[in-house]
Amino acid sequence: MLNRAVNYVKAHRLPFFIVFAVLVLAFPIIIPSNFVRGIAVRTVLYMLFASSLNLINGYCGHFSIGHAGFMCIGCYTAGLLATKAGLGFWLIVPISGIVTSLFGLLVFLPTNRLSGMYLSIVTLGFAEIVRIIVLNWTSLTNGPLGVKGIPSIKLFGLKLTSTTEYYYVILFLLVLSLFCMYRILHSRVGRAWMSIRENPDAACSLGVELAKYKAINFVVGAFFCGVAGCFMAFYYRYIDTTMFTIDESFNVLSMVIVGGMGTLVGPILGAFVINLITETFRFASEYRMLLYGILIILTMWIRPQGIAGASNSVLATKRMAKRVQSAAKAKRSEA
Amino acid sequence: MYFVEQLINGLSQGAIYALMAIGFTLIAGEVGLVSFTYGDTVMLGAFSAYWACSLFAENFLLTVLFTILVSSLMSIVLHAVCMAQFLDAPKHISMICTIGFGIILKNAVQLIAGYEVKAMPELLGRSYFELGGIRIGYVKLYIVAIVIVLCAILSFLLNRTKTGVRLRAVSQDRKAASLIGIDVQRTTRLGNLIGCMIGGLAGLLYAIYYGSILPTMGGAISMKAMSASVLGGLCNIPVAAFAGLLLGIFENFSIALFPQGYRDLISFLFLILVLVFKPHGFEFRFKKHSRKEAEHA
Amino acid sequence: MYILESRKVSKHFGGLKAVDQVDMQVEKGEIFGIIGPNGAGKTTFFNLCAGTYPVTSGEILFNGANTTNKPPHEMARLGLARTFQNIKLFDYMTVEENIAVGFHIHTRTNVFDAVLHTRRYKNDEALIRERTAEILEFVGLTPYAKVKASNLSYGIQRKVEIARALVLKPSLLLLDEPAAGMNPSETQELLTFVRKLNADGYTIVVIEHDMKFIMNLCDRILVLNYGKKICEGTPEVVKNNAAVAEAYFGKGLAVNGGNADA
């Protein structure tokens, strides 16, 4: 039944998109509650984080589970540059992106020869290393006290103060990033990435330099994460390492997976759904995480390719395993 | 003398890590899946020990039995939810499931036991002996002894029994094992069971050694078990155990070298260094899925 | 100068000698075959020439230059294309996209070009569009352009793989068991197709088990058994070679030099 709903939407893409775009743009005007607007800002921010992770995990065959490491770098770079060097938001955005992408390169280097599980474990290790170093390098980062007093965003000399204004900024960043991602994915670079994901041997035999393009993939994904991290620092005005734990990595990862890895719209949906659920159940805050865990497991059981994922994609093959097993069972019982 | 003290601390801590690494490797090799819920398995073991202490008035034997019981039940649920369906599916599906399961475990324990640190009663007594001016608790020696006994039992099970043969067959080549009539589902369930029981017992020892437990202790433990296991290529149990031991010793000695906060860093750096130089760890056994070379010989 | 030459090339996997001191020379413009019983090391040998595996000892020369141990993507740039025994298409990409990847070495669009849609991007994409349409026409696959590769029939998949390799504009084409799983009429089609490619200037080295195919197609043949070269020469020479017959049929039947028909 869910399948039919998804297929209906896919068949009527344009009208859905227009309605969606209008809702998104008019959102702060329609909903007067500042609390809800705050949730919206956070949700859109997560959409950008999830999209950046999706770029790494969904298109090049990597499976990074340590995204919080990149988030931490992006955030802290922005926070420190803002408080210690007094630079403005719009200047820091690209700097944050570049610094984080350098870290992306750093993370890639030892993972080049690794596959699958090992690569994932290393990404997790890296995220923790980053967090611990940032936590303990008190002279630079203020250690457990975090970075506070990050100024607000200035646009044409005017300080942005309301949640609505921040909403439009992050929306702008998201749309711009998605636009760039779309263009990259539909070019020689994107095709090289996907060829590596589908069949690295064949890709290599066709002249695709595996190491180079895997590295580029990490670098670009990390760049967009850095951009998002910069916004995060300027929105929350205060950051510390407790925001970048393993749980946070898993949080963003689950948004990508639940929404559909390997599609541009997947992480958007995933971030939306997960934030919707965690916010709706805020009143039952103790049970919130329990529900979250159950949601993840349910998604893997019912629709492992995620909401937006294609039913015939490699991610949906859980069902194949089930059919094979029941066939084997039938054979055993008649033997 | 400080050296000896740290060495003994390192050995006991290392013994616990070794046990965790063994359990983790067993599950990873057996089921073919890396379980991100392992740290929470250990945590559950620690908490069951804690609850057993109040239930059974600190009777060591009953505590052990209770821990084993709870871990076993958990492992059966874990297998049914996260592993049974996904043995042949892309690996990340079950990985996400174990992540979800771990979150549920952690929060369930938090709901039951609260968020604060819990002090663990001293089950193995407080007696110590003196050696060259320093006090060495007998607890530390008991822990090492218990781990050695458990390793011996496991080794016997894996190498000298029919069940062990089945376990090893499935971990080496699942398809071939099923072709000769081994029930893969049952065997992976058993492997998971043993691995989780070991994890639970490791949790028990962990609680005794450190004296305090937290529901959130699972995360760091997962990483340590993984680091040690990776050295053995995620499938070699003796190497993983040895790595766990080394990790414990190294961590204790590093207190002298590194500031307090950086200690956990050691295991992660260790992990990454190993993988940089030995991408598959020290595999002494041909593992079907990790060599592409001999594919078309 | 030979287009492809191997000098005493060996590949050991631990104790197993998969390829043992094999010498081979392929002349430019010929169709060269490699045959041998299963497990003789043919695909391993291909992999050594193409750079997929590093050699244990020996040298590989491509167009006179030493290319031993060069990685596959460099070999592709030098003009060596290959197909695989079990077809390696990009399953969830369409036929067009599969072929577009083949243009990787002929284009230079990078991330910035992609984002900004610079002239280089536009030129590259136009080139790919044109040439993809051409090659699909050439192999007769135009109706399948937008079909996902995993949805294609086996024979069509093979063609797509070869088309993809041709896009590299290689001077040498290595085909690994291209006729595997094909019925006689498909095999005949393939034979004609390979001959056409050869007439167009591609040097071709082909591994095959189908004897009729090899004997009718190749100018010269190399026979491997247990990793060693046991015969090299024209189809006539190979047909009448006792060692070859023994490799395929065992000692008992090698009475009249054996009949090489499958």
The answer to whether B297 faces chain C, any CB pair under 8 Å, is: yes
Q: What is the mean predicted confidence (pLDDT) over C184-201?
A: 89
Radius of gyration of chain B (CA): 19
Which residues does chain B have within 8 Å of residue A136's beta carbon, measured at their own beta carbons?
A: 259, 261-262
The answer to whether B107 faces chain A, any CB pair under 8 Å, is: yes
- What is the nearest CA distance from B100 to chain C, expressed in angstroms? 28
For position B197, what pLDDT does the model report? 94
Q: Supply the CATH number for residue B170's domain.
A: 1.10.3470
Burial of B216 (0-12, 13-18, 19+ CB in 10 A): middle
Q: What is the mean predicted confidence (pLDDT) over A268-287?
A: 83
Residue with tokens 């890296």: A126
Q: Tell me whether residue C25 is in a domain.
A: yes
Q: Tell me whether residue A258 is in a domain.
A: no
For position C247, what pLDDT does the model report? 78
Alpha-carbon distance of A323 to C247, in angstroms, equals 42
The model's pLDDT over B168-184, given as tens digits with 9 standing for 90+, comes to: 888 888 888 888 888 88
For position B177, what pLDDT does the model report? 84
Q: What is the mean predicted confidence (pLDDT) over B156-175?
A: 85
Contacts of range B77-83, beta carbons closer than 8 Å, 24 or more positions apart: B78/B35, B78/B37, B78/B41, B78/B192, B78/B196, B79/B31, B79/B188, B79/B189, B79/B192, B79/B193, B81/A297, B82/A297, B82/B33, B82/B35, B82/B37, B83/B31, B83/B33, B83/B188, B83/B192
Q: What is the mean predicted confidence (pLDDT) over A2-13?
A: 76
Cβ of C13 and B297 within 8 Å? yes
For position A302, what pLDDT does the model report? 86
- What is the nearest CA distance from A149 to chain C, expressed in angstroms? 35
- Structure letter (DSSP) for residue C148: B
pLDDT at C44 over 60: yes
pLDDT at B7 over 90: no
For position B279, what pLDDT does the model report? 66
Alpha-carbon distance of B138 to B129, in angstroms, equals 7
Q: Which two tokens stand for residue A170?
A: 């992050």
pLDDT at A51 over 90: yes
In terms of CA atoms, which chain A residue is nearest residue B260?
Answer: A136
**Per-residue confidence at C129, pLDDT binned at 50, 70, 90?**
very high
How many domains is chain A built from? 1
Alpha-carbon distance of C257 to A96, in angstroms, equals 75
The model's pLDDT over C66-121, given as tens digits with 9 standing for 90+, comes to: 999 999 999 999 999 999 988 899 988 899 999 999 999 999 999 998 999 999 99
pLDDT at B212 over 70: yes
How far lies B131's CA from each of A182, B135, C93, C181, in Å? 69, 7, 70, 76
For position C262, what pLDDT does the model report? 44
Q: Supply the CATH number for residue C71's domain.
A: 3.40.50.300
**Per-residue confidence at A315, pLDDT binned at 50, 70, 90?**
low
- The overall average pLDDT reported for chain A is 85
How many Cβ atoms from other residues are within 10 Å of residue A30's Cβ? 10
Alpha-carbon distance of C44 to C59, in angstroms, equals 15
Q: Tell me whether residue C65 is in a domain.
A: yes
- Closest Cβ–Cβ partner in A125, A250, A315 for B99: A250
What order do you get walking across the sheet with C228-233 strand by strand? Answer: C80-82, C172-176, C203-207, C31-35, C220-225, C228-233
Overall residue count recorded for chain A in this entry: 335
pLDDT at A325 over 80: no
Q: How many CB pairs under 8 A join A and C?
A: 102
The model's pLDDT over B33-85, given as tens digits with 9 standing for 90+, comes to: 788 899 999 999 999 998 888 888 777 888 899 999 999 999 999 999 988 88
The model's pLDDT over A57-72, given as tens digits with 9 standing for 90+, comes to: 989 888 899 999 999 9
Q: Tell me whether residue C16 is in a domain.
A: yes
Residue with tokens 């031993």: C68
Q: Tell me whether residue A326 is in a domain.
A: no
Contacts of residue A271, defined as CB under 8 A and 6 or more positions apart, other chains included, come to: A43, A44, A46, A47, A49, A50, A255, A259
How many domains is chain B built from? 1
For position B280, what pLDDT does the model report? 66
Cβ of C53 and B293 within 8 Å? yes
Q: Which residues does residue B134 pair with via DSSP β-bridges, in sequence order? A: B131
| 3-class SS of residue A31 | coil
Alpha-carbon distance of A99 to A326, in angstroms, equals 51
Q: Which of A38-52, B225-239, C16-30, C149-163 has the lowest mean pLDDT?
A: B225-239
Residue among A248, A222, A232 at smallest CA distance from A100: A222
pLDDT at A186 over 90: yes
- Closest Cβ–Cβ partner in A180, A183, A314 for C92: A314
Q: What is the mean predicted confidence (pLDDT) over A188-193?
A: 94
How many Cβ atoms from other residues are within 10 Å of residue A19's Cβ? 10
Residue type present at position C30: E
Q: Which two tokens stand for residue B102?
A: 């771990």
Which residues does chain C have within 8 Å of residue B284's beta carbon, measured at their own beta carbons?
A: none
Burial of B46 (0-12, 13-18, 19+ CB in 10 A): buried
How many domains is chain C built from? 1
Q: Which two tokens stand for residue B232?
A: 């053995």
Interface pTM (ipTM) of the complex? Answer: 0.87
Q: Which residue has the higher pLDDT, A316 or B109?
A: B109
Range(s) of the domain holding residue C71: 1-29+48-78
Mutate to test the interface with C, among A186, A189, A193, A205 (most CBs of C within 10 A): A205
pLDDT at B137 over 50: yes
Alpha-carbon distance of C81 to C73, in angstroms, equals 10
Which residues does chain C have within 8 Å of residue A220's beta carbon, measured at their own beta carbons?
A: 111
Q: What is the mean predicted confidence (pLDDT) over A147-170?
A: 84
In terms of CA atoms, which chain B residue is nearest residue C40?
Answer: B297
The model's pLDDT over A73-127, given as tens digits with 9 standing for 90+, comes to: 999 999 999 988 888 889 999 999 999 999 999 988 887 777 777 888 888 888 9
Which residues does chain B have within 8 Å of residue C226's beta carbon, measured at their own beta carbons?
A: none
pLDDT at A319 over 60: no
Alpha-carbon distance of A64 to A69, in angstroms, equals 11
**Per-residue confidence at B217, pLDDT binned at 50, 70, 90?**
confident
- Closest Cβ–Cβ partner in A204, A312, A313 for C73: A204
- The overall average pLDDT reported for chain C is 88
Phi, psi of C21 (to 5 degrees): 55, 55
pLDDT at A324 over 70: no
CA atoms A123, A127, A133, A134: torsion sign: positive
Q: What percent of chain C has pLDDT over 70?
A: 95
pLDDT at A13 over 80: no
- Closest Cβ–Cβ partner in A180, A188, A209 for C124: A188
Q: Which two tokens stand for residue C35?
A: 């045959």
The answer to whether C18 faces chain B, any CB pair under 8 Å, is: yes
For position A311, what pLDDT does the model report? 63
Burial of C62 (0-12, 13-18, 19+ CB in 10 A): buried
**Per-residue confidence at B290, pLDDT binned at 50, 70, 90?**
very low
For position A317, what pLDDT does the model report? 54
- The overall average pLDDT reported for chain B is 82
Burial of A14 (0-12, 13-18, 19+ CB in 10 A): exposed
How far lies C78's CA from each of A208, A244, B151, C66, C163, in Å? 13, 47, 56, 12, 18
Q: Which residue has the higher pLDDT, A183 or B212?
A: A183
C 65-104 near B (Cβ less than 8 A): 85
The model's pLDDT over B235-260, given as tens digits with 9 standing for 90+, comes to: 788 888 888 888 888 888 877 777 77
Q: What is the mean predicted confidence (pLDDT) over A251-265?
A: 89
For position C103, what pLDDT does the model report? 93
Alpha-carbon distance of B278 to C43, in angstroms, equals 28
Range(s) of the domain holding residue A56: 31-245
Q: Which residue has the higher pLDDT, B134 or A233?
A: A233
Q: What is the 3-state secondary structure (H, E, C) of chain B?
A: CHHHHHHHHHHHHHHHHHHHHHHHHHHHHHHCCCCCCHHHHHHHHHHHHHHHHHHCCCCHHHHHHHHHHHHHHHHHHHHHHHHHHHCCCCHHHHHHHHHHHHHHHHHHHHHHHCCCCEECCCCCCCCEEEECCEEEEHHHHHHHHHHHHHHHHHHHHHHHCHHHHHHHHHHHCHHHHHHCCCCHHHHHHHHHHHHHHHHHHHHHHHHHHHCEECHHHHHHHHHHHHHHHHHCCCCCHHHHHHHHHHHHHHHHHHHHHCCHHHHHHHHHHHHHHHHHHCCCCCCCCCCHHHCCHHHHC
Q: How far is CA C220 from the centre of its chain?
A: 15
Q: Tell me whether residue A278 is in a domain.
A: no
- Structure letter (DSSP) for residue A170: H
In terms of CA atoms, which chain C residue is nearest residue B286?
Answer: C14
Q: What is the mean predicted confidence (pLDDT) over A196-217?
A: 92
How many Cβ atoms from other residues are within 10 Å of residue C7's Cβ? 16
Q: Which residue has the higher pLDDT, C110 or B86?
A: C110
Residue among A201, A179, A203 at smallest CA distance from A191: A203
For position A329, what pLDDT does the model report? 53
Q: Tell me whether residue C40 is in a domain.
A: no
Q: Which residues does residue B237 pair with via DSSP β-bridges, in sequence order? A: none
| 3-class SS of residue C229 | strand
